[in-house]
Amino acid sequence: MTDNSADSGANAPGTAGPYHSPPSPISSLPPDAPDVLHWSFQEDRRTLSFRIQETPDVQDGSPFDTVLPRELTIREPFVHDLLIEIEMEGKPGISTVLEAEALQNCYLQGLTYVSRREHSRQQLSIKLRRKGYSAEQIRRALDELENEDSLSDRRFAEQWTRNRLQRHPEGRINIIAGLQQRGVHRSTCNEVLGELETDDPGLFTYACLNFLLKMHRKNADSEELIFSCRKRGFSIKNLENCSKEFYSITGMKIY
């Protein structure tokens, strides 16, 4: 009787057809391409391919291109062993894939946060740091989010200012201080507030009036009103501009 157990077409345990083990990675490596490796092999009747990119800042794509296809993960033993063997040959291997995977996860986590609401770069950096990402991973992820306009300090400043004036009326000085505490550069604060005031010249006057009416309902006298407004960052000009309307509503003079 002929023993066919060594036949190349024999089935691997648990498979329905011929099992094609991954080829030796060394024979598949392009000798003239040390930075980008790209090859395919068959496993369980699937043709799979993956690429290892050592230099992320390529001209023709995002630095967050998928390194492994969806069918593969670095946690599959044969992929893990393959990448270790590659790295032992001095090629970008497992450490490159692990770093790319962490960078991709950092980017996706940041994208999840900004999809819920606007964030400043500083706010998002703090949140990602709490998730355990490194400073370099966070920097590169935030740079990419800014490049694709998913993250914008200017847009955050505009939205935060509008919400703040509506829910917690404050003057220009306090608004700028609040934005700077959240990492927005002062020049960006001034630019955003300048644009908002151009669109609505009475922006801070109306905010001041709303605050005065709120304090008046608490039976504050004129001195208390002025003190509270100044503490909220409203200017004397803001008070003067809204004093007549405040008087017409309440019958109370501020000055």
| Residue 8 placed within a domain | no
> Does one domain contain both 124 and 89?
yes
Give residue 101's pLDDT. 74
> Does one domain contain both 107 and 197?
no
Give residue 8's pLDDT. 41
Q: Which residues pair with 42 in a beta bridge?
A: 47
Local mean pLDDT, 10-residue blocks, the chain (255 residues) = 42 37 39 40 43 43 42 49 55 61 88 97 98 95 95 98 96 98 98 97 96 94 95 96 95 86
- Domain end: 151, 186, 212, which one? 151
Task: Report how many domains make up the chain.
Answer: 2
The range of the structural domain enclosing residue 66 comes to 13-151
> Does one domain contain both 25 and 141?
yes
Q: What SS3 class is residue 205?
A: helix
Give residue 74's pLDDT. 47
Compute the distance between CA of residue 120 and CA of residue 199 in angstroms, rounded to an integer.
Answer: 23
Give residue 251's pLDDT. 93
172, HSE (Cβ side, Cα atoms, 13 Å) = 20
**CB burial string 209-247: b at 16+ within 10 A, e below:** bebbbebbeeebeeeebbebbeebbbbeebbebbbeebe
> Does one domain contain both 147 and 185?
no
**Helices assigned H by DSSP within the chain:** 25-28, 77-88, 94-116, 121-130, 135-147, 153-167, 172-181, 186-199, 203-216, 222-231, 236-250
- Domain end: 151, 185, 204, which one? 151
> Does one domain contain both 117 and 171?
no
Predicted TM-score (pTM) of the model is 0.66
